[in-house]
């Protein structure tokens, strides 16, 4: 018999926190910095609706689920939409049936966009694929990885070299910093990303105070295994591109990928990624996770795909209540890619905006910006 206890992330005991970390470390698919207790606790410092459900058998913790409990009774993954991966964390060899776990937690269901499910806890749930992309160096190291990328993409590699030479010739000498701690550079990356959201009709995920506060908190987090990490590329004295995210041990997850619009056509983003791979051993990184979506530019760099699912998991006993609405929405989305994009956009707004006013404004902007999204041909939500 499994019991479920709902607690604030700050109330997680050292014993349970250690068990959670051990379960993640024991399963390669669960080693993302976003799946451990540290991310949940960081989010909770900015959001009062953050909760952790601890599942126990005979008094011992066998599973953890970190979510935001909404008034409707449905839960969203902790830190959504920054939770590029989320999962029901369980002890290896102890299978928790997902629908039963949600019912034990008193939830009606769980809305997910990138569910990692290594133990098939939600195997009865119909999911749409939403693969993530990661660069894993492997035993041969960074230079072998770079050579493999160039061999697999000879035309692209030639163009990458040409653009890097053009950037250096027209702007300035290339300099890469794998652990940049400049607050000015960080704020510049955020500004570029927000301006990109406006240009492309995306919702501004940094417009909500909690989200920008979370990013700033993590940027200055430099203690312990869970830390913020920023990589930047400069040409001469000019910042031209950067990535910001979080790392746990040897695993880095990138959230913010920003490029100076004035140098974007010179391939600054590709140059940044190539230099990042080559410098990962310097700070003992083994994995650079670029997250899900936008495979058109990520795929040439990545040798590893991470299977994730998007959908709605209903609690046991609640399936009939929500199934008809879910099927109706799925049918509408299947008939129109524009409808599917708009549905994801509205769900994105609901995740990021905590106030009614913020949601209404976001919805209005979504309809205004939908034409820009269609013209840009960019169907996925990008942080």
Question: In terms of domains, do 243 and 299 share one?
Answer: yes
In order, the DSSP letters of 213-274 are HHHHHHHT--SSSEEEEEEEEEETTEEEEEEEEEEETTEEEEEEEEE-TTTGGGTHHHHHHH
Question: In terms of domains, do 156 and 299 share one?
Answer: yes
Find where tokens 């299978």 sit.
95
**Rounded Cα gap, residues 156 and 54, in angstroms:** 48
**Rounded Cα gap, residues 376 and 299, in angstroms:** 19
Count up the domains in the chain and report the number.
Answer: 2
Q: What is the pLDDT of residue 26?
A: 95
Inform me whether the pLDDT recorded for 280 exceeds 90. Answer: yes
Q: What is the pLDDT of residue 197?
A: 85
The burial of 337, by beta-carbon neighbours within 10 Å (0-12 exposed, 13-18 middle, 19 or more buried), is given as exposed
Residue 374 lies in a domain: no
Question: In terms of domains, do 142 and 89 share one?
Answer: no
Q: What is the pLDDT of residue 104?
A: 94
Buried-exposed string 155-184: b where 16+ CB fall within 10 A, e elsewhere: eebeebeebbeebeeebeebebbbebeeee
Inform me whether the pLDDT recorded for 199 exceeds 70. Answer: yes
Name the most confidently modeled range: 89-93, 94-98, 314-318: 89-93
Q: What is the pLDDT of residue 113?
A: 86
Residue 336 lies in a domain: no
Name the residue among 228, 227, 238, 262 with its Cα closest to residue 185.
238
pLDDT digits (tens, 9 = 90+) for 111-148: 888 999 999 898 755 556 778 999 999 898 999 999 99
Question: In terms of domains, do 122 and 236 share one?
Answer: no
Stretch 215-244: mean pLDDT, rounded? 95
The mean predicted confidence, pLDDT, of the chain is: 85
Question: In terms of domains, do 289 and 155 share one?
Answer: yes
Question: In terms of domains, do 124 and 139 share one?
Answer: no
Question: Residue 13 is part of which domain span?
Answer: 3-130+309-317
Question: In terms of domains, do 256 and 115 share one?
Answer: no
CATH number at 22 reads 3.40.630
Residue 140 lies in a domain: yes
Question: In terms of domains, do 81 and 68 share one?
Answer: yes
Q: What is the pLDDT of residue 65?
A: 97
Q: What is the pLDDT of residue 164?
A: 96
User: In what helix (H) or strand (E) does residue 77 lie, and over which residues does it extend?
Assistant: strand 74-77
Q: What is the pLDDT of residue 226?
A: 96
CATH number at 275 reads 3.40.630.30
pLDDT digits (tens, 9 = 90+) for 353-374: 665 555 555 455 555 555 554 4
Q: What is the pLDDT of residue 44?
A: 97
Question: In terms of domains, do 34 and 71 share one?
Answer: yes
Dmax over CA atoms of the chain, in Å, equals: 67
Stretch 137-164: mean pLDDT, rounded? 94
Percent of the chain with pLDDT over 70: 81
């Amino acid at each position: 018999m499994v019991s479920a206890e709902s607690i604030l992330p700050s109330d997680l005991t050292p014993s349970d926190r250690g068990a959670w970390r051990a379960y993640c470390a024991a399963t390669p698919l669960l080693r993302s910095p976003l799946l451990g207790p540290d991310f949940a606790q960081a989010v909770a410092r900015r959001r009062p609706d953050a909760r952790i459900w601890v599942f126990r058998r005979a008094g011992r913790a066998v599973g953890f689920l970190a979510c935001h409990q909404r008034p409707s009774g449905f839960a969203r993954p902790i830190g959504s939409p920054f939770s590029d991966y989320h999962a029901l964390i369980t002890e290896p060899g102890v299978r928790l049936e997902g629908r039963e776990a949600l019912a034990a937690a008193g939830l009606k269901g769980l809305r997910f966009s990138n569910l990692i499910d290594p133990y098939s806890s939600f195997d009865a749930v119909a999911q749409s694929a939403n693969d993530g992309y990661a660069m894993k160096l492997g035993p041969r190291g960074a230079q072998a990885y770079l050579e493999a990328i160039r061999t697999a993409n000879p035309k692209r590699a030639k163009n990458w070299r040409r653009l890097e030479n053009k950037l250096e010739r027209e702007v300035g000498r290339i300099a890469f910093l794998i652990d940049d701690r400049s607050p000015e550079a960080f704020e510049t990356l955020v500004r570029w990303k927000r301006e990109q959201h406006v240009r492309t009709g995306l919702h501004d995920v940094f417009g909500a105070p909690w989200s920008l506060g979370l990013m700033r908190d993590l940027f200055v987090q430099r203690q312990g295994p869970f830390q913020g990490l920023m990589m930047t590329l400069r040409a001469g004295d000019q910042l031209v591109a950067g990535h910001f995210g979080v790392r746990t041990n040897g695993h880095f997850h990138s959230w913010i990928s920003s490029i100076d619009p004035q140098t974007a056509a010179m391939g600054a983003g590709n140059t940044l990624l190539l230099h990042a791979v080559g410098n990962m051993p310097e700070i003992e990184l083994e994995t650079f996770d670029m997250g899900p979506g936008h495979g058109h530019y990520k795929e040439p760099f990545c040798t590893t795909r991470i299977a994730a699912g998007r959908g709605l998991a209903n609690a046991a006993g609640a399936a009939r209540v929500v199934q008809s609405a879910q099927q109706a929405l799925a049918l509408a989305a299947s008939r129109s890619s524009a409808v599917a994009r708009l549905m994801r956009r509205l769900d994105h707004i609901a995740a990021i905006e905590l106030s009614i006013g913020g949601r209404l404004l976001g919805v209005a902007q979504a309809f205004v910006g939908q034409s820009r999204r269609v013209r840009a041909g960019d169907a996925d939500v990008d942080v």
